[in-house]
Structure 1
Amino acid sequence: MTQVDPHDGEQHDQGIGARLNWLRAGVLGANDGIVSTAGIVIGVAAATVERSTIATAGIAGLAAGAMSMAAGEYVSVSTQRDTERALLAKEKRELREMPDEELEELAQIYQEKGLTPDLAAEVARQLTEHDALGAHAEAELGIDPNDLTNPWHAAWASMSAFTLGALLPLVAILLPPAGARVWVTAVSVVVALAFTGWGSARLGQAPVRPAVLRNIAGGLVAMLVTYVIGALVGTQI
């Protein structure tokens, strides 16, 4: 009989930080693309039935949103990486200038985690001999020196995901006849948000139901608000 490892499916490799960074940027970009573009085109569709006007607004929103997401992710993750590099540089300097104090500090960290003083000191010594910076960075700072966040990865993932997400409501609003545009788009958006919520929860090993419900609720509120605004503006202009 095949034994099942209770830890099957858990991710322990060093690349998990980078993958989670991609996942975060990708899911955020896709959701934002779906919701923001749906809000734009539904709001415009509530004010006019001109397909060219709706298309222009949707395409402009897609382009502006994709560039905004990319720039925002790049700046945000660059700041995070700069902070990580500064902390690592400080740790390198401390290891070089006061190695004994750093070894004692590392041993103290492992004592606080439950190891006996002798075992903590031995673990700290062996880890320091193997990779001093890696051991101290992980224990003290929660940073893997070999897996720093990459701003370009986050920017491209966010921009690509936003574009793909935005294409769905844009196509959904343009293809159906005028009377069915809003309903077709709303249904398409709900299905898409349910899928991204499910996917993000599964990949992140989080509960699926709350993620799906949050995505759908946020999308519905956004579409409702922009539709009401579009309808009100359309009757006044």
Structure 2
Amino acid sequence: MVRLKRRRNEALDHDHDPASIARRLERPREAQTVPDAILGGIDGCVTTFAVVSGAFGAGFSATVALVLGLANLLADGFSMAISNYEAIQAQREYIEGIRKSERAHIDRSPEGEREEIRQIYRRKGLRGETLERVVSTISQDRQVWVDTMLSEEHGLQTTGLSPLRSALTTFAAFLLVGAMPLLPYTLGGLDATQQFVASLVIAALMFFLIGMLKSLVYHRPMLQSGLRTLLMGGAAAGLAFLAGHVAHSVFGVGVA
């Protein structure tokens, strides 16, 4: 235990030496794919298992459940990927619009924009000559000046936004995880109840594993995160089952 702690401290010291810091800061910031993968995986599993639950509750056959599940898997996965693409593209266009606006403000009222920089860093605790040097340094470089206004005044993330990458990651995760609850319906030798129970177990496992993945990435309690995701996914599936059962009972919808 002591040796492991020593190794971690040595690795931390190495990551914070001047050369390592310089290399890390010079690297282009990549698009974050983990949130897109988590979003796609959860929604894919919820979508297909909700279809399976609704079909089982309504008394549909395994074939109908499989066909509906595959249709929803492809259609909803594509729709979600497109929505994610458009959302991030719109965010990039919004940032570019703000960037153009800040450039125009610098051209028309440079002293006013310097005062904004001054007040921003005064709020961070800088005073006197130090504050004025910071204002002067930032305002000497137009690109740095604009980027500072985007991040400090508007709170915008200006890097790591890739609409295509996010869309493809969401779509792939949606298909991969969403297909899991449908696997029992591709196997012979199981009756409808056994297929549904197997699908239920697989979906629960997927929800729990996705929650654990979130805990590893975002440094949250593993068990708590897994159970939380499991409960949210289970609630969505329960609603779908209830809707299918009510439709079967009230309207006689179903296939024997």
Shared fold (TM-score greater than 0.5)? yes
2:123 maps to: 112
1:168 Cα deviation from its structure 2 partner: 0.5
1:202 aligned partner, one-letter code: L
- Residue of structure 1 aligned with 2:196, choices 164, 174, 182: 182
Q: Which range moved further: 110-119 or 168-177? A: 168-177
Q: Give, in angstroms, the shift of residue 16 of structure 1.
A: 5.6
Task: Give the residue type in structure 2 aligned to 1:200.
Answer: K
8 Å CA contact 1:107–1:117 kept in 2: the answer is no
Aligned CA distance change for structure 1 residues 95 and 206 (closer, same or farther; 3 Å): farther
Q: Which residue of 1 aligns with 2:154?
A: 141
1:126-137 matches, within 5 Å, as: 126-130=137-141, 131-137=144-150
- Determine if contact 1:39/1:223 at 8 Å carries over to the other structure: yes
RMSD: 2.8
CA distance in structure 1 between the partners assigned to 2:105 and 2:134 by the alignment: 19
2:174 maps to a residue whose letter is F
Does 2:44 correspond to 1:33?
Answer: yes
In 2: Cα distance, 1:167 partner to 1:210 partner: 25
Q: Provide closer, same or farther for how the CA distance between residues 166 and 106 of structure 1 changes in structure 2, counting only shifts above 3 A.
A: same
Shift of 1:229: 3.0
Cα distance, 1:15 vs structure 2: 5.6
Asked if 1 retains the 8 angstrom alpha-carbon contact of 2:29 and 2:160, the reply is no
Q: CA deviation at 1:144?
A: 5.0
Shift in Å at residue 113 of structure 1? 0.9
Amino acid at match of 1:35: V
Closer, same or farther: CA 206–103 of 1 in aligned 2, 3 Å: farther
Q: Percent identity?
A: 22
2:3 maps to what in 1? none
Partner of 1:68: 79
Number of positions where the alignment pairs a residue of Structure 1 with one of Structure 2: 233
Superposed CA deviations along residues 37-70 of structure 1, whole A, max 9, x for unmatched, are 1010122133346332121111111012112201
Alignment match, 1:82: 93
Which structure would you say has the larger Rg? 2
For structure 1, the 5+ residue unaligned runs are none
Q: Which runs of 5+ in 2 are unaligned?
A: 1-5
Task: Write the distance in 2 (CA, Å) between the matches of 1:124 and 1:209.
Answer: 47
Taking structure 1 as the reference length, the TM-score comes to: 0.85
Within 2, Cα distance between the matches of 1:182 and 1:173?
8
Distance verdict in 2 for CA 1:8–1:208, change over 3 Å: farther
Q: Report the AA paired with residue 88 of structure 1.
A: R
Q: Does residue 211 of the first structure (1) align with residue 225 of the second (2)?
A: yes
Kept after mapping to 2: 8 A contact 1:94/1:102: yes
* 1:231 and 2:242 correspond: no
Give the C-alpha shift of residue 166 in structure 1: 1.0
Paired letter, 1:44: A
Q: Give the direction of change, closer, same or farther, for the CA distance of 1:228–1:132 in structure 2 (3 Å limit).
A: closer
**Cα separation, 1, equivalents of 2:214 and 2:63:** 34
Q: Which amino acid aligns with 1:136?
A: M
Cα contact 2:40–2:174 (8 A) shared by 1: yes
Structure 2 counterpart of 1:185, one-letter code: S
Is the contact between residue 26 and residue 157 of structure 1 (CA under 8 Å) also seen in structure 2?
Answer: yes
Q: 1:48 and 1:144 mapped to 2: Cα distance?
A: 49
